[in-house]
Structure 1
C-alpha cells in the first residue's frame, strides 16, 4: 500500500458551473468523469475525474454558504494524513491556521481545511478506504506534474512545509526582483529528477497566496489551443522550463486558475 501521508494526492475544483467545468477540462486535460454517491440533499453531485491511470480528483459546485460569503471558483489540494485531528493540532502549533475543524465525510474519510503561515489554503485527508493510491509515473497525462506555491511568507512557508511534512529542498533559482524559486520534493529525494514542486514569493498581481497545480498533457500547444477554444484565458505561455518541458498558466471559463505542463510536439512551433 502506498504511503501518501504528507503528500498531495487528491485535487478538487469548486466551481460555479460544474457541468461547464467538466466539459472544459475533459477537452483540455482528457479526463473521464464518474458521479460519486447520491449527492447531498440540495442535489449537488461530486464528480470524480480520472485519467487512464486512475483517479485524480473531483469537481463540485461551490457550496451555497461559501458562495454567499463570496467564494469564487478555485482548485484545492489534499495532503494525506494518518490522523487528521492530531495533524491539524500539530500544524496549528507550527504556525498554520485551522479554517475548518476536522470532520467526517460519510463514505470518504476525515478531513480538515488548513491555512499555511503565509495564508495559502490546503486540506488534510485520511481516507476511509484501506487501499492506497499508486502514484502515476512522472508526467502521466491527466495527473498533476508540478505543485507551485505562490507564498505569502516565503521564509515561514519554506520552514513550515520542510519541517512539518519532511519535504526536502533542491536548487533555488534566482528570479531577480521576483525573488527565489525554491525547488521542493515531497518524495524526500534531493535530486532534480525527484523534485515535485516549488515555492516562490507571491507575484504582486496575484490577489492572494495559493497553490497552483500543473496538469500534465501530451502536447502543450494542443492544450493551449483547447484552453482558448473552450473559453479559458491564457495568462502566460507556452514557456519552456528547465528539463525541456513547456508550461501554460491559465484560468478556466469560471475563473479558477490552473496550469498545464507537457512537451512540444512541433519543435518549430511558436506563440
Structure 2
C-alpha cells in the first residue's frame, strides 16, 4: 500500500493560507493538540494538515509548498534504500509523538516528498475515499527525466506501470502508475523542462467544478497556470498557484453515462 496518504501545506502566512483554501475548497481546520499544526478536514475526514514554514526553511527562502506523504512499512529502511537508489534524505527519520514516524526525501532529479508510517489507533477511520470532494485524488510528478525517476520510484515503492499517452512534441510522453497496474493513482512526465522549473510533485484536489473553482482562485489572488481543460474520460483539471506561490491542481469529474 505504498501510496500517498497525507498532504501538508507548509506556508509563510498561516492565516492567509487557511482563509484561501478553506473558502475555496470548503475545508474545515482543527487544531492538533500540542503544537502549531492544524488538520484539514473534508467533512469529518482528515485529508491533510497546515503549518507555518519552519525557521530554517524561511531563512533558505523556501516557498510555500504542498508535501505529499507516501505510506511505508519501515521509514528507516526506505530512507536508506532511497539513498542507494540515488536519492537524498532531506530530513532524517523522526518520530511524531502519538502520530508516527516520517522522513523527507528527494528523488535523483530533486523532487521532494515524504514517507510516513502512522501509529495504529484504536477505532481510527479508514482513509478518506479518493472520490471525496476536498480529498486529493491524483499525484503528478513534473520532472526532467521521467524514465530515470520511474526507475527510482518503482524500485523504492514497488509501483506498477499502468498506461501512457503521447502529449505532443513539447511535453512528450505522459506515463501513469499505481499500486495496481489496473488502477492509476498518478502520472509523470518531463513537464518541468517545459515549465523551466525544478522537478516537483503536484497534487490534485477534488472539487465540484474545476471551471468555477478556477474562476474563484483568480478572484482570491491566486493564479491559474494551465486550464481548465478536458482530460480523457470527460473530466476537467487545472494547474494553479495560491496567493503565496504554492502550486496545486484541481480536478472535477465529468458527467457519467
TM-score (norm 2): 0.92
Question: What are the superposed Cα offsets for residues 200-248 of structure 1, whole Å, 9 maximum, x if unpaired?
Answer: 0123324210100000001122211221121111111110001111011
How far has the Cα of 1:105 moved from its partner? 1.9
In structure 2, which of residues 174, 186, 204 is the aligned counterpart of residue 181 of structure 1? Answer: 174
Question: Residue 129 in 1 paired to residue 125 in 2?
Answer: no
- For the Cα contact (< 8 Å) 1:117–1:153, is it kept in 2? no
User: SS state of the match for residue 247, structure 1?
Assistant: strand
Q: Which contiguous aligned blocks of 4+ residues in structure 1 show a shift greater than 6 angstroms?
A: none
Structure 2: distance between partners of 1:264 and 1:17? 34
Q: How many Å separate the matches in 1 of 2:13 and 2:81?
A: 36
d(CA) in 2 for partners of 1:68, 1:170: 41
- Match of 1:200? 189
Of the three residues 225, 234, 238, the one matched with 2:224 is 234
Deviations 1:168-217 (A, max 9, x none): 112211122322100111x31x23xx111101012332421010000000
DSSP 3-state at the match of 1:37: coil
C-alpha separation between the residues in 2 aligned to 1:152 and 1:104?
32
Which blocks of at least 5 consecutive residues in structure 2 are unaligned? none
1:110 to 93, 101, 110: 101
Unpaired runs of 5+ residues, structure 1, are 40-44, 266-271
Match for 1:33 among 4, 16, 29? 29
Q: How many residues align?
A: 252
Look up the SS of the partner of 1:147 in the other structure.
Answer: strand
- Distance in structure 1 (CA, Å) of the matches to 2:84 and 2:44: 37
What is the CA RMSD across the aligned residues, in angstroms?
Answer: 1.7
Cα deviation for residue 56 of structure 1 reads 0.7
What are the equivalent positions in structure 2 for 1:1-271 lying under 5 Å apart?
5-39=1-35, 45-52=36-43, 54-130=45-121, 134-175=126-167, 176-185=169-178, 187-188=179-180, 190-191=181-182, 194-201=183-190, 202-263=192-253
Q: Matched residues in 1 for 2:75 and 2:92: separation?
A: 10
Q: Any idea what SS the aligned residue of 1:199 has?
A: strand
Change in 2 beyond 3 A, CA 1:107/1:208: same
